[in-house]
Structure 1
Amino acid sequence: MDRNVTMQPSLELWPIGNCQVSGLLDERAGLVWGCVPRIDGDPVFCALLNGERRDAGVWRFEIEDQVSSSQHYVRNTPILVTRLEAKDGSAVEITDFCPRFERSGRMYRPVAFVRIVRPVAGAPRLKVTLSPMHGHGEHLAETTSGTNHVRFLTGDTPLRLSTDAPVGTALAGKAYRVESDQHFFFGPDEPFSGNIRSELRQMEEQTRKYWQLWVRGLATPLEWQDEVIRCAITLKLCQHEETGAIVAALTTSIPEAPGSQRNWDYRYCWIRDSYYTVQALNRLGALDVLEKYLAYLRNIIADARGGQIQPLYSVMGEAQLTERTADALAGYRGMGPVRIGNAAYHQIQHDCYGQIVMPTAQAFFDRRLLRMADDRDFASLEEVGEMAWAMHDQPDAGLWEFRTRQEVHTYSAAMSWAACDRLARVADHLGKADRASLWQERADTIRATIDREAWVETPEGGHYGASFESDYLDASLLQLVELRFCEPDDPRFRSTFAEVEKALRRGEHMLRYAKEDDFGAPETAFNICTFWLIDALARSGRTAEARELFVTMLGHTTRSGLLSEDMDFETGELWGNFPQTYSLVGVINCAGLLSKNWNTVR
């Protein structure tokens, strides 16, 4: 018997996608999560959060007397191959992907999932379960079928399965013998034009070629190339290409810890998370993601009209993301609630101004870009800087998005400093001496304020605190070096690092903070914070320790090579939404920092 059949849902998931839609497959070739018509849409495949109703909201292939399954990606692509084997040695291979390639002068990325089943040994008997839902798990899709297709009524987005498999048998969920390759295209409710066998094989080849050429353009470190490439591909899948928005994760409501109620919808574009994503991909030379995201930011800035920037928006740039619960879905392992929308959109988080200015500043210097920034962009960016200046010493919810308290958070103030500092550099580059002087004066004032208000005197000498009002610590203080607010050998940073490590490190893991919040004390480590720890160790000269801890963290990745948001620091089990862009950024950044130089093999 397949050892996975009776297992409860886990985060051993394999993403596929095309920057329009995405899906997550489990270890038994089940498509258990996938939303239409885009990443933040209705999950027609929702079995991941559907409790005991695991045959609803899923697309699964099984073979009779199945005893094992194994999976891998086609090299340097998000094309997944799953091999299912039966007790008698018969086997099939299932290839899953979402088409993505250039066609007719533009990128072809339909709202579609392609699955190709290939018998590779013996005489396997295949069973197909295809039960899409709509209304966030409230209704099974009604079906009508034709000779070579099945139509599914899924709310406002009807879908169609086109196939050369026997439609009646497949629709009935009956096992049947597979003697030749079978091809499945689940997409828009429109007739499939052309021969499905040859068309899908061509799509497979063109999609493979697109991704492998994209990866070929990455400037990867010498060591940990496979890990970095997998993270880079997955980060690109988190971009909604139509607008350039980058989502924080592909899922909603995977709890940060068992039964914690810390269940949030991450299928939106956080300005903060996106900043870290484009920063990491930029280090690899993936300028296409940066360029599209900068276009998204320009629209956000224009819509704000010099006013407050929200911490997050929808992938279409919509500002209102009203939070509600999807009561028909039981939640991951039955641990609801399942939330749709995110109330953090109306929070005050002042760090977002720096996170808009910093990636945009590159566009004034980087001559590789198709569209470099100009004086008009600088004028718009100054409006963002004005907000950073006005809010640098005002309370906010902070990067950890506290829902019931506000303070002047050091990280937010440091991001405001970074906004003014980078604007001064851009102004100088543009020959605007008076503006450069103004922004530098403001940066210096914010620096002095942070040094005065965030510094906590102790018998040992002192350290920066997480806020101006309190002396507690959080892991974001380790970012002061990354922001260039401090040098690694600055005594103030060294003492702060020592205190943060002592207060928040739990063996091989790092908490974001230890202080109780709206839901009590944190129960899991925040993976990006562990990578910030690794970064700080390396920059402080503890390179061997940093490498050891980095390798340990890579040992916690899923078989797909990815990480979620959180990790149980006792058991190492992954929790939180998946795959989490923050965590993948940590892999890329630390690999680049710790890898041996390419010159060592030349």
Structure 2
Amino acid sequence: MGAEAGGRDAGPHYLPIAEHGLIGDLRSVALVGSDGTIDWYCCPDFDAPSVFAAVLDAERGGAFELAAALPARTKQFYFPDTNVLITRFSTEDGVGEVQDFMPVGAEGTESERHRLIRRVVCVRGTLPFRARIAPRFDYGARPHTVRVDGEAVVFASDGLSLALTSTVPLEVQGPDAWAEFKLTEGESAVFALDQVGADIAPRRCARVEAEQQFATTVAYWRRWLSASKYRGRWREMVHRSALTLKLLTYAPTGAIVAAPTTSLPEQLGGERNWDYRYVWVRDAAFCVYALLRLGFSGEAEQFMTFVTRHISPGDGKQLGPLQVMYGIDGRTDLTETELPHLEGHQGSAPVRVGNAAADQLQLDIYGALIDSIYLYDKWAQPISSDQWDDVCALVDWVCEHWDQPDEGIWETRGGRKNFLYSRLMCWVAIERAIRMARRRGLPADLPRWGGNRDAIYRRIMTRGWSESRQAFVQYEGGDVLDAAVLMMPLTKFIAPTDPKWLSTLDALKKDLVSDSLVYRYDPVASPDGLRGDEGTFSICSFWYVEAMVHAGRVEEARLAFEKMLTYGNHLGLYAEEISHTGEQQGNFPQALTHLGLISAAFNLDRALG
């Protein structure tokens, strides 16, 4: 991982998606490149317009460059058991480190400062550094002014102002600020970027304060991680995944975003570019499972609060289908628009904000949601009577509507079908509710629920099975394979050693598995309404591991899992997909992939004994 330090070369320059680390304050995050440049940052929240978006347009997006002013070898790593990121620059004359973090846990108006601290330390010899702070507000579309306010440089645009303070002199040049400085062994410099406004004045971050906030932030993450109950073989990877999931949590509401980025391409030059900075009911519900498995019941409780407040049907309105995704504050309007002034990552347009899939019908989300409620009720604490009323309303709706076609888990834009996975998760929704009712003696229309559950089972076993393929298939009456059926044994719908399932597993391995990496489906055989190819889908690779574990193929599963770990980036982070050449593709990092890693590790550990 070598980068030419001292600012990026003239002309468009893009680091690969995987060449980034992540920092955050449980409200937003920043992507920090392995060359020391912050390429992505939205302030004050995950889904706010970007301030730095060079990852989507190297020239117009804006960036915060901070690196050695000489050619240097770089190495990036996390301070152990934290989300404090360190980028090291090594030269013949000296070694320096940039420590990047966002303080967590501030109270009152200080929490609205959304401070981002970049602490530069020379650990050996002497090293010159160069910084360029070039914000571009509102995805690079809104102009801003620059003024010096005491010790701060204030970048002001309509609706958002940021103050930059530094312990080294800053120079203003056009819309940007610059700094050039030299440090010798033991010396440090501090840059702090704050949101400022009527109630929050610019405030310098002195070296002593930066050291204190560094220590406080390290202590926060270590204290949080110490609650983990995981003691298995892959502790470092599992804990990095847990820390990443926590970073994707929006503390004010308990929401968990699918990923903190938008429009990172699933294929370079393709159109499969989506905004993932929202709460997918499916993804977040799986997150509850992973967090509960590790012992983080507080995060699970916060998400259940979000569900009760924003997703439940118990608000007096006529019950209709749940929305597929919600804003981090629970809002439902996620209108999708394109930003034509941005060229996209490595020229992969369009850049999209919002997500039209919010209006799709995806019946599988009912199973994911009610399964998470079931797990929370079983492992954390019993749900309330009002929550049970909501569950009953949801299950009654599923009983009425489970047999209609929908867009499915993969949000295809090629028309509705009778997807097997959607049927499977409707079965899960009803079956888990029946379990809760029986275990706790809760009131329920069990004859109706049981009848619909059994009808779905029969429907899947007859119409979802292809005699010609000797496998369960993507949709009724078809013969296309889909990795989503890997969830059949994981949800306890079918015995993991059932001959029909083992035959399906063999068929999936033959058609969709490439050296342990799993494609979700073949878009040529099953057109999804979009141009281009895609890589292997990382969550499916972890589902494949679990399915093999349950089928008794433990050594094969372990090899596939260990191989999958080698596709994580230098920090153990995963995007949504892996390309044909082994590169990370899609939004980054993706919550669904990291929770899949946690679940696979947990179940593989248990099988290995």
- Contact 1:511–1:529 (8 Å) recurs in 2: yes
Q: Is the Cα–Cα contact under 8 Å of residues 23 and 85 in structure 2 kept in the other structure?
A: yes
Matching of residue 178 in structure 1 with residue 178 in structure 2: no
> Cα 1:283–1:174, aligned 2, differ >3 Å: closer, same or farther?
closer
**Equivalent of residue 97 in structure 1, options 94, 101, 117:** 101
Distance 1:441-1:107 versus aligned 2 partners, 3 A rule: farther
Residue 65 of structure 2 corresponds to 60
What SS is found at the alignment partner of 2:568? coil
- Map 1:116-265; keep pairs closer than 5 Å: 116-139=119-142, 141-168=144-171, 172-178=177-183, 180-189=187-196, 190-192=200-202, 196-265=206-275
Q: Is the contact between residue 44 and residue 154 of structure 1 (CA under 8 Å) also seen in structure 2?
A: no
Q: Deviations over 1:168-195 (max 9, x none)?
A: 3896525222353222221121335586
Structure-2 change in CA distance of 1:2 and 1:334 (3 Å): same
Offset at residue 353 of structure 1 (A): 1.2
2:307 partner SS: helix
Q: Distance in 1 between matches of 2:419 and 2:201?
A: 55
Correspondences of 1:278-293 after superposition (within 5 Å): 278-293=288-303
Output the CA distance in 2 between the equivalents of 1:233 and 1:109. Answer: 23
Farther off after superposition, 119-128 or 20-29:
119-128
* 1:465 CA drift (Å): 1.9
The residue aligned with 2:445 is 435
* One of 72, 93, 117 as aligned partner of 2:77: 72
Which amino acid is 2:344 matched to?
Answer: G
Q: Is the deviation greater in 136-145 or in 310-319?
A: 136-145
Matched, 1:512 2:516: no
Shift of 1:108: 5.1
Asked if the contact 2:14–2:345 (Cα under 8 Å) also holds between the matched residues in 1, the reply is: no
1:426 alignment partner, SS class: helix
| Contact map agreement 2:575 2:587 (CA 8 A) in 1 | yes
Distance 2:409 2:536 in 1: 16
3-state SS, counterpart of residue 173 of structure 1 = strand
> What is the CA–CA distance in structure 2 between the aligned matches of 1:118 and 1:463, rounded to whole Å?
58
User: Which is further off, 381-390 or 232-241?
Assistant: 381-390
Q: For each residue in 1:22-69, what CA deviation from the matched residue of structure 2 results, as whole angstroms up to 9, or x when unmatched?
A: 00000111111010120011110101111345xx51111122223211
The answer to whether structure 1 residue 529 and structure 2 residue 535 are counterparts is: no
Q: In structure 2, what is the Cα distance between the partners aligned to 1:297 and 1:82?
A: 38
Aligned with 1:178: secondary structure? strand
Is this contact kept in 1: 2:497–2:551, CA < 8 A? yes
Q: Quick check: 1:220–1:284 contact (8 Å CA) kept in 2?
A: yes
Q: Residue type matched to 1:10 in 2?
A: P
Task: Give a deviation string over 1:466-521, Cα, whole Å, max 9, x none.
Answer: 11242211001110111111110122222222222222122332110112321246
In the alignment, the residues of structure 2 paired with residue 3 and residue 75 of structure 1 have an alpha-carbon distance, to the nearest angstrom, of 26
1:124-523 alignment runs, 5 A limit:
124-139=127-142, 141-168=144-171, 172-178=177-183, 180-189=187-196, 190-192=200-202, 196-299=206-309, 300-301=311-312, 302=314, 305-366=318-379, 368-369=380-381, 372-432=382-442, 435-458=445-468, 462-514=470-522, 515=525, 516-520=527-531, 522-523=533-534
- Evaluate the alpha carbon distance shift between residue 42 and residue 407 of structure 1 in structure 2; reply closer, same or farther with a 3 A threshold: same
Match of 2:565 in 1: 554
Would the aligned equivalents of 2:70 and 2:128 in 1 still touch at CA under 8 Å? no
- Which SS does the other structure have where 1:185 is aligned? strand
Identify if the C-alpha distance between structure 1 residues 530 and 233 changes in structure 2 by more than 3 Å, giving closer, same or farther. Answer: same
User: What is the RMSD of the two structures over their aligned residues, measured on CA atoms?
Assistant: 2.3
Q: Provide, for residues 190-221 of structure 1, a one-character-per-residue CA deviation record: whole Å limited to 9, x for no partner.
A: 33558633332222111111110111111224
Structure-2 separation of matches of 1:583 and 1:502: 23
What is the distance in 1 between the residues matched to 2:423 and 2:607?
35
8 A Cα contact 2:165 2:203, kept in partner: no
Paired residue for 1:82? 87
Q: Distance in 1 between matches of 2:439 and 2:214?
A: 46
Alpha carbons of structure 1 residues 161 and 356: separation in structure 2 relative to 1, 3 Å: same
State the distance in 2 between where 1:432 and 1:172 align.
63
Indicate which of 14, 18, 23 corresponds to 1:8.
14
| Deviation, structure 1 residue 228 | 0.6
Matched residues in 1 for 2:122 and 2:172: separation? 17
Deviation at 1:558, TM superposition (A): 0.6
Q: State the match for 2:115 in structure 1.
A: 112
* 1:129 to partner: Cα distance: 0.4
Q: Secondary structure at the match of 2:160?
A: coil
CA contact (8 A) 2:56 2:346 kept: yes
Q: Is the alpha carbon distance of 1:426 and 1:243 closer, same or farther for their aligned partners in structure 2, counting shifts above 3 Å?
A: same
2:77 counterpart letter in structure 1:
H
Q: Matched residues in 2 for 1:317 and 1:433: separation?
A: 29
Instruction: Summarize the alignment of residues 17-32 of structure 1 with structure 2, pairs less than 5 Å apart.
Output: 17-32=24-39
Rounded Cα–Cα distance in structure 2 between residues aligned with 1:8 and 1:167: 26
Separation in 1, partners of 2:72, 2:273? 34
In 2, the alpha carbon distance for the partners of 1:81 and 1:432 equals 52
Percent identity between the two aligned chains: 30
Contact 1:21–1:112 (Cα < 8 Å) also in 2: no
C-alpha distance after superposition, 1:114-149 (max 9, x if no partner): 111122223322211001111211245321112311
Deviation at 1:103, TM superposition (A): 5.3
CA drift of 1:75 comes to 0.6
Shift of 1:18: 1.6
Q: Where does the alignment leave 5 or more consecutive residues of structure 1 unmatched?
A: none
TM-score, L = length of structure 2 = 0.91
1:538 matched to 2:565 = no
What amino acid maps onto 1:100 in structure 2? Answer: V
Letter aligned with residue 403 of structure 1: R
Structure-1 separation of matches of 2:305 and 2:564: 34
Q: Tell me, in whole angstroms, the C-alpha distance in 1 between the residues paired with 2:437 and 2:207.
A: 57
How far is the alpha carbon of 1:440 from its aligned partner? 2.7
Cα offset, 1:222, TM superposition: 1.9
C-alpha displacement of 1:156: 1.0
Q: Contact 1:131 / 1:140 at 8 angstroms: preserved in 2?
A: no
TM-score by length of 1: 0.92
Letter in 2 for 1:352: I
- Aligned residue type for 2:145: E
User: Does the 8 Å CA contact 2:488/2:494 hold for their aligned counterparts?
Assistant: yes
Q: What secondary structure does 1:572 align onto?
A: coil
* Secondary structure in 2 matching 1:118: strand
More divergent stretch after superposition (115-124 vs 214-223)? 115-124
* Aligned twin of 2:54: 47
Contact 2:406 2:419 in 1 (8 A): yes
Structure 1 SS opposite 2:485: helix
CA contact (8 A) 2:4 2:71 kept: no
SS in 1 for 2:268: coil
Shift of 1:404: 2.6
Pairwise CA distance, 1:94:
1.2
Asked if 1 retains the 8 angstrom alpha-carbon contact of 2:283 and 2:591, the reply is: yes
